[in-house]
Amino acid sequence: MIGLPSFRLHRPTSIEEAVGLLAEHRDDAKLLAGGTDLLVNLRHGLATPSHIVSLAEVPGLDRIDCSPEHGLTIGALSTLESLATHPGVEESFPVVVRAARTISGPTLRAMGTVGGNLCLDTRCHWYNQSFFWRQACGFCLKKDGTACHVAPGSSLCWAAYSGDLAPAFLVLGAEIKLLSVRGERRVPLDRFFLDDGLRKFDMASDELLTQVCVSATRAHLRGVYSKLRIRGALDYPLAGVAAAARIAGGGTFHEAALALTAVGPRPFLVEGATEILEGLRANDEDAIERVAHLARRLSNPMNTTWAMQPAYRRLRVGLFARDALREMGERGP
């Protein structure tokens, strides 16, 4: 049994109070949403805050508003299950629901939130272990140590970003809203994630993610999410590919986008995919192969899991990308 370390729990009842607490305690505070990532990490000594700010009693953060006219806004505290079972989102933004449904199982989805999912800590087999294990096998750069065991000599941490929703939101060009006592700022999601497993996000310790927004212009794109994992349920992705596109009446690709997760420290859009595919026929195998090759080339999985070899994860990225583009071309959402 590994007990939770001692901390002071704050239960603000308004969003202003919540950001006030974050401003007061800064690096010594952590936000608690569903707790499915944070509480595990606290147990393992991966985070050691003195203050936990629970969002459970902050009203108004769990709304999902979805319409083809106004687009999609999702409150950060919406549960993964409410998103996975939302008929309106499934109809208008299918790639999001497809990604949400692959996350763990229904009990965990009813606990985990969208905000917590986007702000998930990066993962590595040298890191997601108990304190005892890490002490015995050697601490690493990401926590308590000085060297990276995956890329010795590197000053960066290569732990993999392993959230499933981020790539789905990336292909829809989503933005997020961050709130602090200094005010609100909107950040395009593709600029939120940093390519460094230590810093992870463009988010200060006093900021709170309040909303994810997708423009109405991205409604009714076809969408696919494919995920590589050991078991058919429960597991985090070891590689994930989200794809979205509009297939015009004549059967041509428009606004096509691909994004990858779990193959590097941040999820990212496959740059160049949109330009290659724009206006081409959806059965243009040559173009599809070029994009699949690009996705594979840009993915950079490292030895951060014992479950699968990086080369295999990379191979599957290419196959997922190819199959997703074919599937979108062949049939509806």
Partner 1 sequence: MQKEALRLRVNGSLREALVPHHRSLLDFLRDDLELTGTKRGCDDGSCGACTVLLDGCSRLSCITLAHGVPGRSVTTIEGAGQPGRLSDLQLAFISEGGLQCGFCTPGMVLAAGALLQRIPHPSEEQVREGLSNNSCRCTGYGRIVQAVRRAAGAPEETP
35 touching partner 1, by CB under 8 A: yes
230 touching partner 1, by CB under 8 A: no
> Which of partner 1, ligand SF4, ligand FAD, none sits in contact with 124, Cβ below 5 to 8 A by type?
ligand SF4
9 touching partner 1, by CB under 8 A: yes
Site string for ligand FAD, 159-178 (x = CB under 6 A): ----xx--------------
Cβ proximity to partner 1: between 112 and 310 the closer is 112
Positions in 107-126 near ligand SF4 (CB under 6 A): 124, 126
305 touching partner 1, by CB under 8 A: no
- 3-state secondary structure string across the chain: CCCCCCCEEECCCCHHHHHHHHHHHHHHEEEECCCCCHHHHHHCCCCCCCEEEECCCCCCCCCEEEECCCEEEEECCCEHHHHHCCHHHHHHCHHHHHHHHCCCCHHHHHHCEHHHHHCCCCECCCCCCCHHHHHHHCCECCEECCCCCCCCCCCCCCCECCCCHHHHHHHCCCEEEEEECCEEEEEEHHHHECCCCCCCECCCCCCEEEEEEECHHHCCCEEEEEEECCCCCCCCCCEEEEEEEEECCCCEEEEEEEEEECCCCCCEECCCHHHHHCCCECCCHHHHHHHHHHHHHHCCCCCCCCCCCHHHHHHHHHHHHHHHHHHHHHCCC
> Which of ligand FAD, partner 1, ligand SF4, none sits in contact with 171, Cβ below 5 to 8 A by type?
none
Minimum CB–partner distance for residue 236 and ligand FAD (Å): 5
277 touching ligand SF4, by CB under 6 A: no
Positions in 297-316 near ligand SF4 (CB under 6 A): 304
Span near ligand SF4 by CB under 6 A; candidates 28-36, 143-151, 182-190, 280-288: 143-151
Positions in 177-236 near ligand SF4 (CB under 6 A): 197
The one among 83, 118, 120, 159 contacting ligand SF4 by CB under 6 A = 159
236 touching ligand FAD, by CB under 6 A: yes
Site string for ligand FAD, 258-287 (x = CB under 6 A): ------------------------------
Site string for partner 1, 244-263 (x = CB under 8 A): --------------------
> Which of ligand FAD, partner 1, ligand SF4, none sits in contact with 11, Cβ below 5 to 8 A by type?
partner 1
| Residues of the shown chain interacting with ligand FAD in the complex, contacts defined by CB under 6 A | 30-38, 40, 76, 80, 103-104, 108, 111-113, 115-117, 119-121, 163-164, 208-209, 234-236
